[in-house]
Amino acid sequence: MNREKTHWNFDNSYQVLPKILFKNQTPTPVKSPELIVMNGSLAETLGLSVEHLQSEEGINVFVGNQIPENSVPIAQAYAGHQFGHFAMLGDGRAVLLGEQITPDNRRYDIQLKGSGRTPFSRGGDGRAALGPMLREYIISEAMHGLGIPTTRSLAVVTTGEPVYRETILPGAVLTRVASSHIRVGTFQYAANWGSRDVLQNLADYTIDRHYPEFENQDNRYLTFLRRVIERQAKLISKWQLVGFIHGVMNTDNMTVSGETIDYGPCAFMDQYDPATVFSSIDREGRYAYGNQPSIGAWNLARFAEALLPLLNENQEKAIEIAEGEIAQYFTIYNQYWLAGMRAKLGIMNEEPDDEALVNDLLQLMQEYKSDYTNTFRSFTLDKLEGEKMFSKEEFKKWYKRWQERLSRQKEPKEEVLKSMRNHNPAIIPRNHQVEEALNAAVEKGDMSVMNVFLDALAKPYSYTKEQEKYCQLPTPSNQPYQTFCGT
């Protein structure tokens, strides 16, 4: 391939690790690929030629029909606790082409999702359907717009071949971009099926790649654990602050880089309710919105267990160290969450009763089924409209407390409202609007609905008149909204 045209600049540093952690795997060719959507701004950030990626040669790379120069494709091995049950997993339908080195010398994984069977497929066909791949594209790019660390989507290409699920669906491949695809489950795999040397090699590589600032510290594995705990606490607090529900918080879906990954049955909450669940497979509500912080702690405990041999040679001492670090998680999480909630309410300093003020509001929102995003949007616009709660005496009392709280800080109202705009999105990818975009794209071949939607989601804090249509709530339905893994 002509690298002058495409600027693919691949490295394969993951392959210096022990072979037990991956399998060489060429993507399975497809018949007639067609580019459906491509992320031009992301392509340019990666140092890629948008024009060439849209060519026949570029599209063939996106489906694995053609392998770029210096790419050595692999499928990565990992394990995971899925709904609490431990299993050996791995990339069953994804191939890592390698790591793109950008013009500013940053490193990003380039992965093809839906590119065919691998040694880890566990009986699956290795393929993906168009709808779920477009869904991941929409949600991951929306998360990026919201300022939440996330994997991103570079392109979706149809394969010209069907995939068989409950019905026959058009096949597609998503090109996913990530700081890396190293998961908590990767460390669980190394700890359970590899030697201590394998685990240490993986930890050293991950530290060098994601936490190079402390790679020479004597206690770097302990520092590594602390930093992963902090990043995950911060990430999950950001989810909670915008009402995002991941839907399948298995340990194989938690990265050690602190990026959100694997947008399967995810969705955004409309009415505020901590018990909100959308995933069709989460029948017990394990991964409900209100449970996400606790599940984060549970997953991190599994990560700490995997690291035990590196924390101390004495297992009892290692367990004591790990337990002490995990015990800090909720303090760290609550600090990030409360700071974020203060920002959403325009509170720019700290007072002891702030958490009670926030929790009292959330309780009222739950009682009166208030829309999470639109409630804070109303506060930001300084217009109490559209929510039943606003007319209630309990809310008026709370509102008075809030205004008194704001009066005790030096910042003027104009500055407070301006700050609130930076922390309260005017829009989110609401479920009914995501479905509308997907139906137009998949059923009618009309990408215009999705493209306009993506443009709006790229700037969710801009509060433009054009965005107002995306603030509209879904019409009442007797059927609860459900999401599916798409596997």
Q: Which residues are catalytic?
A: 252
Question: For the residues of 309-325, what is the DSSP string, one character each?
Answer: HHH-SSHHHHHHHHHHH
User: What is the rounded distance in angstroms from the CA atom of residue 270 to the CA atom of residue 285?
Assistant: 17
Angle, alpha carbons 340-343-345 (nearest 5°): 115
Which DSSP helix (H) or strand (E) runs through 96? strand 94-101
Pairing label, strands 94-101, 107-113: antiparallel
Phi/psi at 391 (5° precision): -90, -5
Q: CA triplet 473, 146, 83: central angle to 5 degrees?
A: 80
CA 435 – CA 292 distance, rounded (Å): 24
Residue 19 DSSP class: G
List, in sequence order, every residue forming a beta bridge with 109; answer none if it has no partner: 99, 178
CA angle 35, 8, 49 (to 5 degrees): 55
- Of 308, 332, 309, nearest in space to 322 by CA: 308
Nearest to 430 by CA among 449, 448, 453: 453
Residues 6+ apart with CB under 8 A from 449: 436, 437, 440, 441
Amino acid identity of residue 374, one-letter, is N
Angle at 414 between CA 413 and CA 415, to 5 degrees: 90
Pairing of strands 79-82, 10-11: unpaired
H or E element at residue 336: helix 329-344
> What count of other Cβ atoms lies within 10 Å of the Cβ of residue 120?
21
Supply angle C-alpha 338, 339, 345, rounded to 5: 85
Between the alpha carbon of residue 90 and those of residues 75, 94, 121, the distances in Å are 7, 9, 8
- Amino acid letter for position 407: S
Task: Break the chain down into helix, strand, coil percent, rounded to 5.
Answer: 50, 15, 35
